[in-house]
Amino acid sequence: MNIVEYNNIIDKLSVHVKSFQEGFSLLSKSSTLKEFGTDFCRILRGNFFISDVNLFFKGNDTTEWKSVVVHNEKCYECLPYLKPSPEVHIEYFSENEFSIIATLPSTDGSFWGLVIGRKLDKSEITEIDKITLQMFLQLLDNAYQSFTNQKKEKQLIFSLNHRVVQLNSLIDTGIEISKLHKTASLLELSLERAVALTNASSGVLQIISENIIVSEIGFPGNFDREKVLSSKNKIDTSVEFQNIKYLFTLSEKESRNGIIAFDQTDEILLQAFARQVLAALENEHLHSEAIDKERMHQEIEMAATIQRKIIPQHLPEIEGYDLAGINIPSLEIGGDYYDVTKLKDGRYLLIIADVSGKGVASGLLVNTLNASLNAYVENDFMLTEVADRLNKIIYKASTPEKYITGFIAILDPLTGTIEYLNAGHNPIFYANNGKLKKLDKGGLAFGMLDFAFPYESARIQLYPGEKILFYTDGITEAMDSEDEEYSDQRLESFFLSENPAKAKSFIENLMADIKTHTKNTPQSDDITALYLSRNR
């Protein structure tokens, strides 16, 4: 053998050794015998450039061969050549369809059988191939031992975890009983059971916030804190909840033979206790939140009840006129408001308002508007002065993003004269001789700016047969399932065409038309309307 041939052999063996190492890592990770065998055959074919590798397995010398990987059905004819024995048995064939038949014993009493086809280039098996085969048979044996050991280990861990699960079920029962107790009682109980079930001599539970120990619980009562924490024979684990860390430490596991080391089961148990503490803390927090939520719901219900009282249940009867109104909040507390109030001089104040946004904050502003307005109209007043005062009050009472659009009208029922002021509200519809007019004279919404903004009022004359519709944008912006709005145009058309004998019928028909448009789409904003018509 010359130096070139020698180097070639070394190079080939080096490649096979690297493949051997990678193959061992791959085979050791197999999850099933089928996967293990398939990966081994793939490795062998790649290193030998062989047409097919057929692999068989038998659990012991009395069982039958079972196929693991079969690439060539004719390999079954070679089963009689597979000879289980304490030693590796290999036969080479030069003219047969298969070039190698090998039997390999394993340490657990099982056997592997290999029926290997010919090389792809039809060349004969060389001495280097034989050496390489021995290497890969050794790979098969070593990897299979690792594979079986891992299976046994998994089975052991599974069995252990199963017992721990059973124990956790027992622990859960006790902890569940304590869920409604104070947190301190729950922590004490958890630490006591952790110490007892791991046979620890003592334990400490430290409650830590921002790296500072804010509280500490020990068991038994006469425990030595420093001894527990400084012990070389201890286990610990921790959980965190709402930036508070709960650190469990157990020390000195006791046995009949004295102090022994804690094992994996003890660590699993301690971790289980810690998780139960975390679950109990979370449940206690959720329980507290549920109570707070219920209390808040009751308060919202009370606020909604109060607010409903400022929305008139019955409108005053005005001789020669017909009135009807409706308010449908989208939430429990709405941000829309309307009212009709008889003044001392026999005139009537009509108002509709819409607070930006919805919910409790909007409801509070509605109440503020109602109270302030009633206070100012008790005596003689000018509509523009009232608007200016309301603007300042709402500005001081609200946050920057909150304001109120409103339309205020003073009706003299004897003459039909209406003085009105529109404070940033959508234009109010007025039908005059069958034509639509929009009432928009006024100024900015209440609460938008904190200075004496010059509000203006205007007058109109309401004749018999004419009508006015006060409304909020919850009507025109009511959407269907495709986000198409009811629209100003549809409301204008409805207002001009609908002329029922009663104001109540107009409101009912308007709500029905909106429902026809939105169908079953959830209401997204408060809907409020006030309708006034003059009969004579």
- On whether residue 167 sits in a domain, the answer given is no
Among candidates 355, 343, 352, 353, which has minimal Cα distance to 381? 343
Query: Would you give the DSSP letter of residue 330?
Result: S
Question: Same domain for 367 and 497?
Answer: yes
Report strand pairing: 442-443 vs 417-423.
parallel
Among candidates 430, 421, 414, 428, which has minimal Cα distance to 347? 414
> Whole-angstrom Cα distance, residue 158 to residue 460?
87
> Whole-angstrom Cα distance, residue 273 to residue 175?
9
Question: Same domain for 189 and 229?
Answer: yes
> Whole-angstrom Cα distance, residue 353 to residue 390?
12
CATH of the domain at 33: 3.30.450.40
Report strand pairing: 348-355 vs 404-412.
antiparallel
Question: Same domain for 147 and 35?
Answer: yes
Neighbour tally for 23: CB within 10 Å: 22
User: What's the pLDDT at 458?
Assistant: 96
Question: Same domain for 356 and 484?
Answer: yes
Among candidates 277, 53, 297, which has minimal Cα distance to 172? 277
Question: Same domain for 225 and 105?
Answer: no
> Whole-angstrom Cα distance, residue 184 to residue 161?
29
> Whole-angstrom Cα distance, residue 476 to residue 495?
12
Question: Token digits for 131?
Answer: 């050496």
Q: Domain range spanning residue 462? A: 311-534
Region of residue 433 (left: phi > 0; alpha: psi -120 to 50; beta: else): left
Q: Is the CB of residue 160 less than 8 Å from the CB of residue 264? A: yes
Question: Same domain for 334 and 456?
Answer: yes
Triad 175, 177, 181: Cα angle to 5°: 90
Question: Same domain for 524 and 441?
Answer: yes
Place of tokens 């006024």: 442
- On whether residue 170 sits in a domain, the answer given is no
The DSSP-derived string for 66-80 is EEEE-S-GGGGGGGG
Question: Same domain for 71 and 110?
Answer: yes
User: What's the pLDDT at 380?
Assistant: 84
Instruction: Pick the last residue of a domain from 267, 285, 303.
Output: 285
Question: Same domain for 252 and 373?
Answer: no
The DSSP-derived string for 127-180 is HHHHHHHHHHHHHHHHHHHHHHHHHHHHHHHHHHHHHHHHHHHHHHHHHHHTTT
The DSSP-derived string for 87-116 is S-EEEE-SSSSEEEEEEEE-TTS-EEEEEE
Q: Is the CB of residue 197 less than 8 Å from the CB of residue 265? A: no
**How many DSSP H helices and E strands does the chain contain?**
11, 21
- On whether residue 297 sits in a domain, the answer given is no
- On whether residue 110 sits in a domain, the answer given is yes
With 0.75 as the threshold, say if the pTM is over it: no
User: What's the pLDDT at 442?
Assistant: 94
> Whole-angstrom Cα distance, residue 530 to residue 510?
11
* pLDDT tens series, the chain, 536 aa: 445 444 454 555 454 556 556 767 777 778 888 998 888 888 888 777 887 899 999 999 889 999 999 999 999 999 998 989 889 999 998 878 898 999 999 988 999 999 999 888 888 888 888 888 888 888 888 888 888 888 777 766 665 664 565 365 445 534 553 554 566 677 777 788 778 778 888 899 888 998 888 888 888 877 778 888 888 889 998 888 888 898 989 998 888 778 888 888 788 878 877 887 777 777 777 767 777 777 766 655 665 566 666 788 899 999 999 999 999 888 767 788 899 999 999 999 999 999 887 767 777 788 888 888 888 888 888 999 999 999 999 898 888 888 999 999 999 999 999 999 999 999 999 998 878 999 999 999 999 887 777 899 999 999 999 999 999 999 999 999 999 999 999 999 999 999 999 999 999 999 999 999 999 898 888 899 999 999 98
Cα–Cα separations (whole angstroms), residue 14 to 21, 42, 124, 131, 444: 11, 19, 21, 12, 88
CATH of the domain at 436: 3.60.40.10
Question: Same domain for 246 and 377?
Answer: no
Question: Token digits for 412?
Answer: 């003299």
Question: Token digits for 4?
Answer: 């070139």
Residue 9 contacts by C-beta under 8 Å, 6 or more apart in sequence? 1, 128
Question: Token digits for 84?
Answer: 């289980």
Among candidates 439, 533, 534, 529, which has minimal Cα distance to 491? 529
Question: Same domain for 198 and 140?
Answer: no
User: What's the pLDDT at 175?
Assistant: 53
Sign of CA dihedral 136, 137, 142, 146: positive
Cross-strand partners of 321: 534
- On whether residue 389 sits in a domain, the answer given is yes
Instruction: Pick the last residue of a domain from 110, 136, 151.
Output: 151
User: What's the pLDDT at 168?
Assistant: 58
> Whole-angstrom Cα distance, residue 270 to residue 237?
7
- On whether residue 161 sits in a domain, the answer given is no
Cross-strand partners of 98: 117
Question: Same domain for 375 and 516?
Answer: yes
Total domains present in the chain: 3
Q: Is the CB of residue 398 less than 8 Å from the CB of residue 447? A: yes
- On whether residue 293 sits in a domain, the answer given is no
Alpha-carbon Rg for the chain in angstroms: 44
Cis amide bond preceding 522, omega within 30: no
- On whether residue 157 sits in a domain, the answer given is no
